[in-house]
């Protein structure tokens, strides 16, 4: 070691490294520990956004941004504090691969139709009466519904109801940006006109339960919306079995035509932690963004306690130890999205259970959220 240090400290080596820079060349011997760490060292950090803060800023944004002034969507994204060094806009990275945002649409507003190579999903948290139109199908959105808009599909939104509607967006924007795969195209008109019956795909596929005869060929997005009532029933059905030690009762949204995760690059789950449930800790290479749909509790991430309650969002970066605790006597429901499909396609997915202390981390700190 002493020898290695004197090597790196020697003036000769330092001068040479500096000289290489002038030619836009780099010395592997210096870079290798950071380039190829023994295990993942994400730049993303564990973080939590309180609903109180997001909601306050969304409400303020209603007067700052209107579709007439801004032309686009009123969405505010969750920027991971560890990822600002990415340019531009920190790549709007919530994790190194995924972007998450909270979108608010008011009565009468239209979010214009467009299509892009990024895969998108929505989880509806507040309100009713808005539809998203995806490839000519108007899908009316209600609380607890999960919707997908995989790459290349036209989509736009319009709010026909009265109270503001709010939902979570998640897209693989940082991933698409980092591999240079971004294409974006506005729709020729402001919003697409319906070309098939409303809520067609949810009816055709029984909300994900069935595929009609004659429709056995896998396709990218046969089902556009997964209704809350079905998700809830699926979770109730699991209750009589033992919970998963790491995740309690959790169901993944899948594509009924091929059995794979519903959105090509982004997996999503609804997870129920019964009152008082405490999971064991584990870690995996995929990173996860959580939304607290109902209930309250905390998650210990790499030893730090993150308290959460309804409406909050938090992020577990790659390879971070995490365990969940429901501190109340009521069920807690966590919606989550992750880059697991990307990790699996690239053969990067690994996971590990936390062995010490019967699978529970020692709490070494508490997270303090930014409040309005």
* Binding footprint of ligand GTQ on the chain (CB under 6 A): 73, 75, 101, 103, 111, 120, 155, 169, 171
Which residue blocks in 161-295 are alpha helix, DSSP H? 173-179, 200-204, 228-238
Which residue blocks in the chain are alpha helix, DSSP H? 2-9, 11-22, 28-35, 51-64, 67-70, 173-179, 200-204, 228-238, 340-345, 356-359
Nearest to 207 by CA among 304, 266, 139: 139
CB of 92 to ligand GTQ, least distance (A): 8
Q: Which is nearer to ligand GTQ, 175 or 298 (CB)?
A: 175
CB of 172 to ligand GTQ, least distance (A): 11
Annotate 24-54 with DSSP letters as a single string: T---HHHHHHHHS-SS---S---EEE-HHHH
Displacement of CA 315 from its chain's centroid (Å): 8
CB of 314 to ligand GTQ, least distance (A): 18
CB of 150 to ligand GTQ, least distance (A): 12
CB of 307 to ligand GTQ, least distance (A): 26
Q: Which is nearer to ligand GTQ, 101 or 235 (CB)?
A: 101
Distance CA 223, CA 269 (A): 16
Beta strand 288-294 pairing with 313-316: antiparallel
Half-sphere exposure of 138 (CA within 13 A, CB side): 14
Q: Which is nearer to ligand GTQ, 77 or 205 (CB)?
A: 77
Measured between its terminal Cα atoms, the distance across the chain in Å is: 49
Q: Which is nearer to ligand GTQ, 94 or 96 (CB)?
A: 94
Q: Which is nearer to ligand GTQ, 149 or 255 (CB)?
A: 149
CB of 120 to ligand GTQ, least distance (A): 6
The residue at minimum Cβ distance from ligand GTQ is 169
Q: Which is nearer to ligand GTQ, 111 or 166 (CB)?
A: 111
């Amino acid at each position: 070691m002493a020898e290695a240090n004197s090597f790196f400290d020697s003036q000769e080596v330092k001068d040479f490294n500096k000289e290489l820079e002038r030619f836009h060349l780099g010395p592997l011997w210096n870079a290798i520990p950071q380039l190829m760490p023994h295990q993942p060292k994400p730049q993303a950090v564990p973080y939590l956004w309180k609903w109180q803060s997001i909601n306050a800023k969304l409400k303020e944004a209603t007067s700052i941004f209107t579709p007439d002034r801004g032309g686009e969507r009123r969405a505010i994204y969750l920027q991971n504090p560890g990822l600002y060094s990415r340019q531009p806009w920190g790549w709007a990275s919530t994790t190194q691969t995924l972007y998450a945002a909270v979108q608010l649409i008011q009565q009468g507003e239209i979010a214009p139709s467009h299509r892009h190579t990024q895969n998108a999903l929505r989880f509806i948290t507040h309100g009713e009466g808005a539809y998203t139109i995806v490839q000519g199908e108007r899908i009316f959105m209600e609380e607890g519904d999960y919707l997908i808009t995989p790459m290349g599909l036209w989509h736009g939104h319009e709010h026909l109801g009265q109270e503001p509607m709010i939902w979570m967006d998640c897209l693989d924007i940082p991933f698409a940006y980092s591999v240079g795969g971004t294409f974006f195209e506005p729709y020729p008109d402001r919003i697409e006109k319906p070309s098939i019956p409303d809520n067609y795909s949810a009816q055709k596929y029984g909300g994900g339960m069935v595929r009609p005869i004659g429709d056995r060929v896998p396709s990218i997005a046969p089902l556009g919306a997964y209704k809350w009532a079905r998700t809830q029933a699926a979770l109730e059905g699991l209750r009589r079995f033992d919970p998963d030690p790491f995740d309690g009762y959790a169901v993944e949204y899948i594509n009924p035509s091929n059995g794979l995760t519903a959105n090509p690059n982004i997996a999503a789950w609804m997870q129920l932690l019964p009152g008082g449930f405490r999971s064991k800790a584990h870690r995996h290479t995929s990173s996860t963004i959580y939304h607290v749909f109902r209930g309250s509790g905390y998650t210990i991430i790499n030893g730090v306690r993150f308290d959460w309650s309804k409406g909050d969002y938090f992020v577990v970066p790659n390879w971070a130890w995490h365990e969940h605790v429901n501190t109340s006597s009521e069920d807690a429901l966590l919606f989550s999205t992750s880059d697991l499909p990307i990790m699996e396609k690239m053969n990067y997915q690994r996971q590990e259970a936390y062995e010490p202390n019967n699978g529970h981390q020692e709490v070494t700190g508490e997270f303090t959220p930014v409040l309005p």
